[in-house]
Amino acid sequence: MTFPLPDAIAALSRTPDVLDALLGDLGDGWTRHRPADGEWSAHDVLGHFIHGERTDWIPRARIILDHGTKVPFTPFDRDGHVAIAADRSTAELLDLFRTLRAENVAALRGFDLSTDDLDREGTHPAFGPVTLAQLLTTWTTHDHVHLGQITQALATRYTTEVGPWHAYLWE
Amino acid sequence: MTFPLPDAIAALSRTPDVLDALLGDLGDGWTRHRPADGEWSAHDVLGHFIHGERTDWIPRARIILDHGTKVPFTPFDRDGHVAIAADRSTAELLDLFRTLRAENVAALRGFDLSTDDLDREGTHPAFGPVTLAQLLTTWTTHDHVHLGQITQALATRYTTEVGPWHAYLWE
């Protein structure tokens, strides 16, 4: 297992700042833009991040640490962001995510995990056995994947307006 | 033409902050990671952003404003980032980009463009006629596309370590 926990914490800690820099004070024309029907806007992704902070990463880590493989994780609701995003402004989502992420990174540091701890296993409802290291690496990677989704949503605001450059940007 | 210049300036102005939040103080293990041979790391993309600030967006806008369609743009060198990135740290690239972007956004504001100006045309070496609005929209979109490339490069650091979650993240 080559997963360096300090590198993960370094990346996880900065995501609220990345989101604020990317989206804070940008208008809804940017943050609510969906690339296509059924795809997610930056605002929607923020709701998904918040839902993950509440129900996925640290709650699942606690299940591994407290119960090992005996208690399977609660399945993650991929539509859990809808209610979160529906009645909040983008600024409110950014603030809420910052608070939750800070609490969760503090919890992660507080676990004071050893290398042996990182090898401890839990039970994923679909995959079966997974390790704590896999869960924490996925948390970090999930940040970067969905930051990419946000930037791609922003990038698609002006697909027509770029004119012939469309060929260089997307083809 | 529905392109709102203030929205573009708002997005362009914040890209140095996004990059600092995403990459500043992250180790080379993150910033120099290439998803595959021949693909770009975050560090490489920073070199590409810098090369664009120096040779693409504002220089081309000046050609349109000064010469219209009579003087074609200088072709953009897609390998122009190599020398820029080769002998600088990621922190140095972040600082250099911040300086150049600030100068270029100041230049853009200084043009004090009217709606008629945005319709002025230049000559792209491959596409032929393009408008100033298309150039400026592409500048903005190009930021978001390559921010996505950076987050995807970061996301691929741990493709093995995520274990079975690989299926949810990329398949």
Q: What is the pLDDT of residue B2?
A: 62
Contact between A127 and B10 using a beta-carbon 8 Å cutoff = no
Mean pLDDT of A97-107: 98
Nearest-Cα distance to chain A for B75, in Å, is 13
Check the CA dihedral A32-A149-A39-A164 and report its sign. Answer: positive
Q: What is the pLDDT of residue B25?
A: 87
DSSP symbols for B68-118 = TTSSPPPPP-TTTHHHHHHTS-HHHHHHHHHHHHHHHHHHHHHH---HHHH
Beta bridge partners of A130: A122
> Is residue A88 a part of any domain in this protein?
yes
For B35-67, write each residue's pLDDT tens digit. Answer: 999 999 999 999 999 999 999 999 999 999 999
> Is residue B164 a part of any domain in this protein?
no
Q: Band the pLDDT of A56: cuts 50, 70, 90.
A: very high
Q: Band the pLDDT of B170: cuts 50, 70, 90.
A: confident
> Is residue A169 a part of any domain in this protein?
no
One-letter amino acid at B140 equals T
Contact between A30 and B11 using a beta-carbon 8 Å cutoff = yes
> Is residue A69 a part of any domain in this protein?
yes
Contact between B21 and A25 using a beta-carbon 8 Å cutoff = no
Contact between A3 and B163 using a beta-carbon 8 Å cutoff = no
pTM summary value: 0.95
Tell how many helices (H) and how many strands (E) occur in chain B: 9, 2
DSSP symbols for A69-135 = TSSPPPPP-TTTHHHHHHTS-HHHHHHHHHHHHHHHHHHHHHH---HHHHT-EEEETTTEEEEHHHH
Q: pLDDT over 90 for what percent of chain B? A: 94
Residues of B in contact with A128 (CB under 8 A): 164
DSSP 8-state class, residue A41: P
> Is residue A65 a part of any domain in this protein?
yes
> Is residue B166 a part of any domain in this protein?
no
Mean pLDDT of A85-95: 97
Q: What is the pLDDT of residue B148?
A: 97
Domain count, chain A: 1
With 80 as the cut, is the pLDDT of residue A149 above it?
yes
> Is residue B48 a part of any domain in this protein?
yes
Q: What is the pLDDT of residue A2?
A: 62
Q: Which residue has the tokens 């300086």?
A: B99
Q: What is the pLDDT of residue A98?
A: 98
Nearest-Cα distance to chain A for B143, in Å, is 8
Mean pLDDT of B129-153: 97
With 60 as the cut, is the pLDDT of residue B169 above it?
yes
Candidates A22, A130, A148; nearest CB to B152: A148
b (16+ CB within 10 A) / e for A127-149: eeebbbbbbbbbbbbbbbbbbbb
Round the average pLDDT of chain A to a whole number and report it: 95
Contact between A11 and B154 using a beta-carbon 8 Å cutoff = yes
CA-based max dimension of chain A? 57
> Is residue B171 a part of any domain in this protein?
no
Q: Which domain range does residue B102 map to?
A: 5-158
With 60 as the cut, is the pLDDT of residue A90 above it?
yes
With 70 as the cut, is the pLDDT of residue B1 above it?
no
**Cβ-Cβ contacts under 8 Å for B54 (sequence gap 6 or more):** B100
Residues of A in contact with B140 (CB under 8 A): 158
ipTM (interface predicted TM): 0.94
Q: What is the pLDDT of residue A4?
A: 81
With 60 as the cut, is the pLDDT of residue A139 above it?
yes
For B74-110, write each residue's pLDDT tens digit. Answer: 999 889 999 999 999 999 999 999 999 999 999 999 9
Mean pLDDT of A34-61: 97
Q: What is the CATH number of the domain that holds B48?
A: 1.20.120.450
With 80 as the cut, is the pLDDT of residue A114 above it?
yes
